Amino acid sequence: MIEKKERVIAALPIIGKIDQSRAEMITGVVLKESQRLKLEHLVIDLSGVHAIESEGVHALLYTVNTLKLLGVDTVFTGIHPELALKASSFGDLNNATYCANLEQALTSLGFKFSR
């Protein structure tokens, strides 16, 4: 039996506008770093995104599908209504988990918070 005590989790806050070229740049960095860090989970926080083009949504979903093939689970947080509407028009969104905020995402990954 192989036992691993620690999970490798990273968070990626995205701020500003996401167009196709920026989404492609994000994809390249995320795929490279996920392999370098041996990620198991990536939390992408979109609460700071003020605009996103349809091509940007498509590229992010492509990234999620690619990460899934590499064994990395993706959790999105901070999705606002405009982005939700655009993303839902692309069909299958089942390769990621969706949470309202970072605390909820980390809780879904097994972290416990005390107040």
Helices (H), 38-112: 54-69, 81-88, 102-108
Average pLDDT over residues 85-113: 85
Burial class (CB in 10 A: 0-12, 13-18, 19+), 56: buried
What would the two tokens of residue 2 be?
Answer: 């192989």
Q: How confident is the model at residue 98 (pLDDT cuts 50, 70, 90)?
A: very high
Name which of 42, 46, 34 is nearest 109 in CA terms: 42
Average pLDDT over residues 96-112: 91
> What are 24-48's pLDDT values in tens digits?
999 999 999 999 999 999 999 999 9
> What are 38-89's pLDDT values in tens digits?
999 999 999 999 988 888 888 988 999 999 999 999 999 999 888 888 878 8
What are the backbone angles phi and psi of residue 14, rounded to the nearest 5°? -115, 130
Residue 6 confidence (pLDDT) above 80: no
- Mind listing the domains of the chain with CATH numbers? 13-108 (3.30.750.24)
How far apart CA 43 and CA 76 sit, in angstroms, is 6
Q: What is the pTM of this model?
A: 0.87
DSSP 19: -
- Better-scored residue on pLDDT, 1 or 51: 51
